[in-house]
């Protein structure tokens, strides 16, 4: 393995551990992550209502007479965004490229996560036997893979420009 690759991996893991410790800290969880998750619930609930599901949201809970889901940590897309953050920040690129990658990547992860929450609600309401499989396996894997995939596409686009400027 080349020195640059080892350095990237060391930076990636250090940033990831620091980010996880930060969001696990109760003041950050209570004042940043929980309100963020409530916003995720409101957006997903609005999408479900546009689909005629007649749901209500209360904090992190989306419910109706048919089914209810509570969006907990691990289901709010934050972990996938942290993986994306750690990989983009650890990658040798300009601040501008990193900022654009983080903004677009976070948006992509959260759009996909909203699709995830909507489909999980619909599965719970109409196909409850499939809910656990999709909740614990299918969507968890897809969300993490989407963050990794975004990073791979972003880094491939940024790397040629970075190499060209080094001469």
Given pLDDT bands bounded at 50, 70 and 90, which one contains residue 74? confident
**Segments making up each domain of the chain, as ranges:** 3-166
CB neighbour list of residue 110: distance below 8 Å, 6 or more residues apart = 40, 77, 81
Digit-coded pLDDT (tens) for 85-96: 999 999 999 999
pLDDT at 167: 46
**Tens of pLDDT along 130-155?**
999 999 999 999 999 999 999 999 99
Question: For the residues 28-35, what does the mean pLDDT come to?
Answer: 96
* Residue 84 and residue 150 in contact, taking contact as beta carbons nearer than 8 Å: yes
Q: Summarize the confidence of residues 61-88 as an average pLDDT.
A: 95
Q: How many whole angstroms separate alpha carbon 48 and alpha carbon 88? A: 32
User: Could you tell me the pTM of the whole model?
Assistant: 0.89
């Amino acid at each position: 393995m080349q020195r640059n690759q080892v350095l990237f991996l060391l930076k990636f893991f250090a940033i990831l551990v620091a980010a996880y410790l930060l969001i696990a800290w109760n003041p950050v969880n209570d004042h940043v992550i929980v309100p963020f998750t409530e916003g995720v619930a409101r957006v997903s609930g609005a999408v479900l209502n546009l689909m005629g599901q007649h749901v209500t949201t209360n904090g992190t809970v989306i419910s109706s007479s048919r089914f209810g889901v509570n969006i907990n940590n691990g289901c709010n897309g934050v972990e996938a965004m942290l993986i994306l953050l750690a990989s983009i920040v650890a990658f040798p690129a300009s601040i501008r490229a990193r900022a654009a990658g983080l903004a677009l990547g976070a948006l992509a992860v959260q759009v996909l996560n909203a699709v995830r929450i909507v489909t999980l609600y619909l599965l719970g309401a109409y196909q409850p036997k499939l809910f656990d499989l999709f909740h614990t396996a299918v969507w968890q894997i897809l969300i993490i893979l989407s963050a990794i995939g975004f990073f791979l596409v972003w880094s491939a686009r940024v790397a040629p420009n970075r190499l060209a400027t080094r001469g």
